[in-house]
Amino acid sequence: MSVATKLAELGIEIPVASRPLAAYVPAVKVGQFVYTSGQLPMAGGELAAVGKVGGDVTVEQGYEAARLCAINCLAAVNTVSDMEKIIQVVKVTGFVNSAPGFTGQPQVMNGASELLVQVLGECGAHARSAVGMAELPRNAAVEVEMIFLMSE
């Protein structure tokens, strides 16, 4: 099944990649690998989740924000390749804007990880890091970056 078909079944539309906030591009393709820049939980040009997870933002809201970041990573892939060419999600790195003492970063990042497996099946299984941060750009609750292996 194609990625587009699976996304449609899940009711997910891949947006146009967000414009970078500074001097970088949404993604870079090197050989068979696509590296995305960190993607924020943007929807319709606005941040969908702002603040610290474990404080202003619940774990459930953080999970949804990470899921949105994963969708935006797929959009970033489309700027340099075609998401239909994804062979494997290699690595996911998640940054969680964390309130002091919050240690639920893995649960938050499951929003991105579970979406990738829903959409890509076994190809969506990946290595992952989930880390807490004191601050993120624009006070976003979550930021996610990914590495993909692509077919030629």
Q: What is the pTM of this model?
A: 0.97
% of the chain exceeding 70 in pLDDT: 100
Alpha helices in 15-58 (DSSP H): none
User: Averaged over 50-57, what is the pLDDT?
Assistant: 97
Q: Report the pLDDT value the prediction gives residue 42, as an integer from 0 to 100.
A: 96
Give the H or E element holding residue 129: strand 127-133
User: Averaged over 12-16, what is the pLDDT?
Assistant: 92
Looking up tokens 């809201």 gives 61
Identify the residue with better confidence: 59 or 1: 59
How confident is residue 19, by pLDDT bands cut at 50, 70 and 90?
confident
User: Averaged over 20-32, what is the pLDDT?
Assistant: 94
User: Averaged over 112-124, what is the pLDDT?
Assistant: 97
- Of the CA atoms within 13 Å of residue 33, those in its CB half-sphere come to 7
Q: Are 27 and 91 in contact (CB under 8 A)?
A: no
Q: Say if residue 21's pLDDT is above 90.
A: no
Give ∠ CA 19-141-38 in degrees, rounded to 5: 40
Work out the widest C-alpha separation in the chain, in whole angstroms: 45
